[in-house]
Amino acid sequence: MAPTPRLSIERVVESAIGVTDSDGFDGLSVSAVASDLAVAPSALYTYCDGVDGLRHLVAIAATRNLTVDLQRAATGIAGGPALVAMSDAYRAFAARHPGQFAATQRPPKRDDGIEAANRSLLEVFALVYLGMGHSSEQSHLAARSTRSALHGFLALEHATGTTDDHDREYRHLLETLQRGLA
Amino acid sequence: MAPTPRLSIERVVESAIGVTDSDGFDGLSVSAVASDLAVAPSALYTYCDGVDGLRHLVAIAATRNLTVDLQRAATGIAGGPALVAMSDAYRAFAARHPGQFAATQRPPKRDDGIEAANRSLLEVFALVYLGMGHSSEQSHLAARSTRSALHGFLALEHATGTTDDHDREYRHLLETLQRGLA
DNA sequence: ACCTGAACACCGTTCAAGT
DNA sequence: ACCTGAACACCGTTCAAGT
């Protein structure tokens, strides 16, 4: 008889994201996901290539999740206000999902999936700059600069510790970017 | 008899940095350092608090090493050229020591040592902006924005994969910062 | 086809024992 | 005081065995 599969790649990714959210990207392990899904650890090897495969799947899913949030934040807004909204969304994502945020930065291996996910993320920024009258090339450069700067700030903010409120510094960075890209 | 200690905190840190350089920050482990020092893994627990303590020591040492490179790059130069030189030094550090670069971003626990090391790093940037006529407050904000942006770019560059040459994008980010902070 | 469970190597950590 | 070595728990991975 053909047994109905209890597992699927979707369920594995869903569980892996859940583990990442609760235990951090470093807490992601074959055992933790297997335990969450109530299967033996070795059962996961049918759906992903070990712990590296797990990290890989989470890196792609996390980048997509961030992209969705950014896109949603900029929907119906243009120009400077859109960039402010996206920056706030970026920071909120890092605060609410530190594990996923870390995953967006740790793609262990080169892969089409991750590169495509990163391109999609950059396109959201680029579209805003296009709407502000920049050329296609300038928009892509501006998008990369903006993403890099925001990402770096948030990465260091979470590394240093989130005791202080760095809102003023974050706004300074935003304003610097907007002046520099005007 | 008092046996001459074969180990010391300095030797442990030195070895840990070596392991980080060759195997990456994720490759840093009690076993690897112990093997490098030709001692039993348990011997290290006299000098550091397990693998987390090891990562902690490396995070501090790596931040200091980066600071030294930045300071050296800006010695005898001022203004825009100093910032260009520091940016190049930052990027060179990330390229030559990817493991240490990763460590500058992964301080697991809050600690005076890491915070102090980060303050020293920011001061190097701040001094350049002070020399350009900025106020003390503006210099500190500019320093943080600059460091965040450079760090984020390099972190994503190494994450995405270093196949392409992103020199043009890096220079665009620099110019954006300089325009925005003028 | 899908999952379990045994098996193995390996790492982190603790602690009693040696010198 | 400093280090070794045994001991234990735990994770990753492979593979033969079940259904």
Instruction: Answer yes or no: are the C-beta atoms of B178 and B81 closer than 8 Å.
Output: no
A52–chain B Cβ distance below 8 A for any pair:
no
A177–chain B Cβ distance below 8 A for any pair:
yes
Which residues are CB-neighbours of A66 under 8 A, at least 6 positions away? A90, A93, A100, A101, A104, A121
**Distance (Å) of CA A58 to CA A62, A63, A95, A147:** 6, 8, 17, 20
* Residues within 8 A of B (CB atoms), A 127-146 only: 141-142, 144-145
Q: Say how far B98 CA is from D1 C1', in Å.
A: 37
pLDDT digits (tens, 9 = 90+) for A146-179: 999 999 999 999 887 666 889 999 999 999 999 9
Structure tokens given for A23? 């235990």
Which single residue has its CA nearest the C1' atom of nucleotide C6?
A: A42
**pLDDT score at B1:** 45
Nearest to B180 among A148, A160, A176 (CB): A176
Q: Could you tell me the pTM of the whole model?
A: 0.95
pLDDT digits (tens, 9 = 90+) for A66-104: 999 999 999 999 999 999 999 999 999 999 999 999 999
Res. B40 pLDDT band, cuts 50 70 90: very high
Structure tokens given for B59? 């995070």
Res. B23 pLDDT band, cuts 50 70 90: very high
